[in-house]
Structure 1
Amino acid sequence: MIKAVRTGIAAAFTMTITAGLAIAAAPAQAAPSLSPYVAMGDSYSAGAGIVPVDPTVTPLCARSTLNYPNLVADALGVQSFTDVTCSDADTQDFYEKQYPSLTPQLDAVSKDTKLVTLTIGGNNNDTLIKVISACISAGTGTAGFGNPCETIYGDQFTNDILNKTYPAVKKALNDIHAKAPSAKVAIVEYPQVMPADNSNCFLTMPIAKGDVAYINKIEDTLNGVVERAAGETGTTFVSMQSSIGHDSCKPIGTRWVEPALWGTNFVPIHPNALGMQKMAAQTLAAIGG
Structure 2
Amino acid sequence: MNPIIHSLYEPVTGTWQYIVADPSKREATIIDPVLDYDKESGVIDIRSADKLLKLIEDNKYRVSYILETHAHADHLSASRYLQSVVGRRQSVAPAVCIGHRIVQVQQTFSTIYSIPQAELEKAFDRLLQDEEELVLGSLSIHVIHLPGHTPDHVGYIIGSNVFTGDSIFNPDVGSARCDFPGGSATTLYQTSRRLLSLPEHYRLYTGHDYPPSDRYTDVGIDESRAVPFTTVKQQRLENKHLKASTSEEEFVTWRNERDSGLQTPKLLIPSIRTNIRGGRLPRSSEDGFKILKVPESVIRVS
TM over 0.5: no
The structure number with the bigger radius of gyration is 1
Higher strand share: 2
Q: TM-score normalised to the size of structure 2?
A: 0.29
